[in-house]
Amino acid sequence: MIELPFDTAEIDALVVRFKSVMAREGLDIPDLGGNASDDEVTEMLQETAGDLSRDEITQEIETMNDDQQDALVALFWIGRGDAEPESWAKTCRLARARHVGRVSRYLLSKPLVATYLADGLEAMQTSGLLDP
């Protein structure tokens, strides 16, 4: 059994937050036009200056310790298919060795980060290395 440096519920919550951040897009339509009742939906999916969700997730990741950040990247890589659950320790060491810059920036630059994190966690549980 492998012990993650965080609770799996924290990863599940992080996945939900990543999904909400990644569903948004830059504000690029200054005049939405059309039907006013439809405009609210488009505005909800666009980032605005007052939207803290990206900043909050960045702060959450950057306040994690090195072991937690390495594990997060390792889960991402396993979910993406770059590594196998059985090579967990090696994948964490590789994440540490390749750590350049901010982990949050790396993860937020990947459009499918939420899917890959969830898939990585599921792969670890399915392989029997983590309790479900």
Q: How high is the pLDDT of residue 19?
A: 86
Residue environment code for 101-122, b if the CB has 16+ CB neighbours within 10 A, otherwise e: eebbebbbeeeebbbbbbbbbb
Cβ-contact 78, 117 below 8 angstroms: no
* Model pLDDT for residues 44-80, shown as the tens digit of each residue: 444 444 454 778 889 999 999 999 999 999 999 999 9
Averaged over 4-21, what is the pLDDT?
90
Q: How high is the pLDDT of residue 118?
A: 97
Question: Angle, to 10 degrees, between the axis of helix 66-80 and the axis of helix 113-126?
Answer: 90
Q: What is the dihedral of CA 54, 57, 61, 63, to 10 degrees?
A: 100
Whether the full predicted model's pTM is greater than 0.85, yes or no, is no
- The rounded distance, in Å, linking the Cα atoms of 21 and 15 is 10
Averaged over 20-37, what is the pLDDT?
56
Q: How high is the pLDDT of residue 65?
A: 96
- The rounded distance, in Å, linking the Cα atoms of 4 and 68 is 8
Task: Please report, for the chain, the start and end positions of each structural domain, with discontinuous segments joined by +.
Answer: 8-126
User: Percent of the chain having pLDDT more than 70?
Assistant: 77
